[in-house]
């Protein structure tokens, strides 16, 4: 190989392997520059460029890829809010700033409510000497029941903290208070006592109650799946292949085929693969023990799907990214076969995307969140635990929409504090809130938001058996975006 070529790459910090010589033309600077750029995109941490990398960059791409003729403008997917990772060491002050930021975002929503427009700071309330009506907004920092069975909350804002008393005879106020979770942000109307407030009303930031559903003119479908768990011995590959055949319009009766071919958006809400080292002795439950191969297999499967279906994928707690939320997009080293597919869009967890906008139509807003925090609320909130618990992820989704936050209680998920933003706050009310994680499909309509929790493609694991979970695999929810009707398809036995 010409020494100029070696030099060209060496100056950029990359070592060329001699096996590449036959493929490179050292005279062609444009080709060398392109190669450098493609290699940088392909790998962020490798410093050696060899023949097999070169092949995977170019040759395999040409052989494997049949680029379909998709008019992307017809079925657009726009990422409206996505976490951009800032690599900086985190300090305690980042947590403080992060919680302040969250307080500002959510108290703004609360302040716009009738009844809370005149809310004042806790510091001001503590200085009041006479009994008077007040409204305030704060974090719930403690929640206790007194001997007389009344409730005392401690609310905290940026100026101080105060006790709020909710008497047991005030139903349904007391019920609402009973289901509060720590660290959520609420509003209170009440009257002052001696450094306390006696509550009359409790406000959640919530989503608007109007339930006018957005619809588009064309009969097209959005499909939801999650928790594929490729690599697990319990991965239901046959069911998944049946789903692929159906979406491609090759199986089913004519009506089913007709609907299948109108699916234009497919969301895959996390746990694409089973991962490695997720829990002790997971190895025994894996038939693909190499994480790269798990993603290759996942890629192989979704590459079989019609290329005019936009496939939006986000990571979950089994995927090969850090577990702390927001989870960045999947590393391109893992999903390089997937990224070759022209119809796949990889997004963060959580993320906000807009689909199907066109001139004169604003499109549908979709919030994707895998649902790692759901376990905490299922286990800790009475209204969810006593109404089905793990069988009712839709109740968790509704609960979190009321709080306008995906993990309001500190500790309900692992997270990385961003001092400038709180990515888990639901700042914009979506048309669809999609989740997964509990392996139980569920749907509900809350205000204008359609909550859909995906099913899974893994049969019951020994862990689920032990803790009494009843997964319901191989289901796909289909939303007709023209009528907003929802169908559930079953690809299981």
Smallest gap, in angstroms, from Cβ of residue 374 to Fe ion? Answer: 9
Q: Which stretch binds Fe ion (CB under 5 A): 21-29, 219-227, 406-414, 417-425?
A: 219-227
Q: Which stretch binds Fe ion (CB under 5 A): 11-19, 93-101, 267-275, 406-414?
A: 267-275
In this complex, which beta carbon is closest to Fe ion, that of residue 164 or of residue 396?
396
Smallest gap, in angstroms, from Cβ of residue 351 to Fe ion? Answer: 16
Q: Which of 414, 398, 369, 370 is nearest to 227 (CA)?
A: 370
Smallest gap, in angstroms, from Cβ of residue 28 to Fe ion? Answer: 48
Q: Which stretch binds Fe ion (CB under 5 A): 56-64, 130-138, 273-281, 430-438?
A: 430-438
Interface residue with Fe ion among 135, 317, 451, 464 (CB under 5 A) is 317
Q: Where are the alpha helices (DSSP H) in 231-364?
A: 237-247, 254-260, 291-302, 336-339
Smallest gap, in angstroms, from Cβ of residue 223 to Fe ion? Answer: 18
As a whole number of angstroms, the distance between CA 292 and CA 330 comes to 12
In this complex, which beta carbon is closest to Fe ion, that of residue 325 or of residue 418?
325
Smallest gap, in angstroms, from Cβ of residue 382 to Fe ion? Answer: 24
In this complex, which beta carbon is closest to Fe ion, that of residue 419 or of residue 436?
436
Q: Which of 312, 362, 315 is nearest to 341 (CA)?
A: 312
Distances (CA, A) of 446 to 183, 210, 221: 23, 9, 20
Q: Which residues contact 169 (CB under 8 A, 6 or more apart)?
A: none
Q: Which residues contact 310 (CB under 8 A, 6 or more apart)?
A: 75, 77, 264, 265, 266, 343, 345, 355
Tell me if residue 317 falls in helix, strand or coil: coil
As a whole number of angstroms, the distance between CA 456 and CA 473 comes to 5
In this complex, which beta carbon is closest to Fe ion, that of residue 333 or of residue 375?
375
Residues, the chain, total? 493
Q: Which residues, in sequence order, are bridge partners of residue 219?
A: none
Interface residue with Fe ion among 437, 453, 457, 479 (CB under 5 A) is 437
In this complex, which beta carbon is closest to Fe ion, that of residue 202 or of residue 314?
314
Half-sphere exposure of 33 (CA within 13 A, CB side): 3
Q: Which stretch binds Fe ion (CB under 5 A): 178-186, 222-230, 304-312, 356-364?
A: 222-230
Sign for the pseudo-dihedral over CA of 10, 15, 16, 17 = positive
Number of H helices, E strands in the chain: 15, 19
In this complex, which beta carbon is closest to Fe ion, that of residue 299 or of residue 316?
316
Smallest gap, in angstroms, from Cβ of residue 461 to Fe ion? Answer: 9
Smallest gap, in angstroms, from Cβ of residue 92 to Fe ion? Answer: 29
Smallest gap, in angstroms, from Cβ of residue 76 to Fe ion? Answer: 29
Q: Which stretch binds Fe ion (CB under 5 A): 159-167, 171-179, 308-316, 407-415?
A: 308-316
Q: Which stretch binds Fe ion (CB under 5 A): 86-94, 239-247, 309-317, 319-327?
A: 309-317
As a whole number of angstroms, the distance between CA 451 and CA 356 comes to 19
How many Cβ atoms are within 10 Å of 387's Cβ, its own excluded?
11
Q: For strands 449-453 and 442-446, give the pairing.
A: antiparallel
Q: Which residues contact 179 (CB under 8 A, 6 or more apart)?
A: 381, 382, 383, 399
**373 is a site residue for Fe ion (CB under 5 A):** no
**271 is a site residue for Fe ion (CB under 5 A):** yes
As a whole number of angstroms, the distance between CA 203 and CA 339 comes to 44
Smallest gap, in angstroms, from Cβ of residue 219 to Fe ion? Answer: 32
As a whole number of angstroms, the distance between CA 243 and CA 474 comes to 8
Site size with Fe ion, rule: CB under 5 A: 5
**227 is a site residue for Fe ion (CB under 5 A):** yes
Interface residue with Fe ion among 205, 275, 316, 326 (CB under 5 A) is 316
Smallest gap, in angstroms, from Cβ of residue 372 to Fe ion? Answer: 6
Q: Which stretch binds Fe ion (CB under 5 A): 63-71, 93-101, 437-445, 446-454?
A: 437-445
Smallest gap, in angstroms, from Cβ of residue 438 to Fe ion? Answer: 8
Q: Which stretch binds Fe ion (CB under 5 A): 88-96, 206-214, 315-323, 469-477?
A: 315-323
Site string for Fe ion, 383-422 (x = CB under 5 A): ----------------------------------------
In this complex, which beta carbon is closest to Fe ion, that of residue 317 or of residue 409?
317
Instruction: Map tokens 């109007």 to a residue.
Output: 210
Contact residues for Fe ion (CB under 5 A)? 227, 271, 316-317, 437
């Amino acid at each position: 190989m010409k020494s100029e070529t070696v030099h060209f790459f060496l100056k950029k910090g990359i070592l060329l392997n001699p096996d590449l010589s036959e493929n490179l033309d050292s005279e062609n600077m444009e080709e060398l520059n392109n190669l450098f750029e493609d290699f940088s995109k392909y790998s962020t941490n490798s410093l050696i460029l060899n023949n097999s990398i070169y092949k995977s960059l170019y040759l395999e791409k040409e052989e494997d890829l049949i680029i379909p003729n998709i008019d992307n403008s017809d079925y657009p997917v726009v990422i409206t809010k996505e976490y951009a990772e800032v690599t900086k060491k985190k300090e305690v002050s980042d947590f403080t700033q992060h919680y302040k930021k969250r307080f500002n975002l959510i108290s703004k929503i609360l302040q716009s409510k009738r009844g809370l427009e005149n809310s004042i700071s806790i510091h001001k309330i503590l200085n009041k000497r006479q009994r008077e009506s007040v409204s305030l907004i704060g974090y719930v920092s403690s929640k206790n029941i007194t001997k007389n069975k009344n409730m005392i909350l401690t609310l905290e804002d940026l100026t101080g903290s105060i006790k709020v008393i909710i008497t047991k005879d005030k139903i349904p106020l007391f019920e609402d208070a009973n289901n509060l979770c720590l660290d959520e942000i609420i509003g209170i109307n009440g009257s002052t006592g001696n450094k306390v407030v006696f509550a009359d009303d409790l406000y959640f930031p919530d989503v608007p109650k109007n339930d006018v559903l957005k619809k588009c003119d064309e009969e097209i479908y959005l499909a939801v799946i999650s928790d594929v768990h490729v690599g697990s011995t319990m991965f239901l590959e046959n069911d998944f292949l049946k789903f692929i055949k159906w979406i491609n319009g090759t199986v089913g009766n004519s009506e089913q085929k007709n609907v299948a071919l109108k699916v234009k958006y497919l969301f895959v809400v996390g746990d694409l693969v089973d991962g490695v080292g997720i829990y002790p002795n997971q190895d025994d439950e894996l038939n693909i023990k190499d994480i790269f191969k798990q993603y290759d297999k996942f890629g192989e499967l979704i590459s079989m799907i019609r290329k005019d279906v936009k496939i939006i994928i986000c990571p979950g707690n089994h995927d090969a990214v850090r577990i702390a939320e927001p989870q960045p997009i999947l590393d391109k080293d893992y999903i390089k076969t997937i990224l070759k597919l022209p119809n796949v869009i990889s997004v963060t967890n959580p993320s906000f995307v807009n689909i199907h906008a066109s001139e004169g139509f604003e499109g549908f807003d979709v919030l994707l969140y895998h649902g790692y925090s759901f376990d905490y609320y299922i286990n800790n909130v009475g209204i969810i635990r006593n109404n089905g618990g793990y069988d009712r992820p839709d109740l968790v989704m509704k609960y979190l929409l009321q709080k306008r936050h995906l993990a309001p209680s500190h500790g309900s998920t692992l997270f990385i504090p961003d001092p400038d933003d709180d990515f888990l706050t639901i700042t914009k009310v979506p048309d669809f809130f999609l989740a997964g994680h509990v392996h139980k499909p569920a749907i509900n309509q809350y205000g204008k938001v359609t909550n859909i929790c995906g099913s899974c493609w893994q049969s019951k694991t020994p862990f689920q058996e032990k803790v009494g979970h009843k997964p319901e695999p191989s289901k796909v929810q289909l939303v007709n975006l023209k009528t907003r009707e929802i169908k559930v398809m079953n690809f299981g036995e």
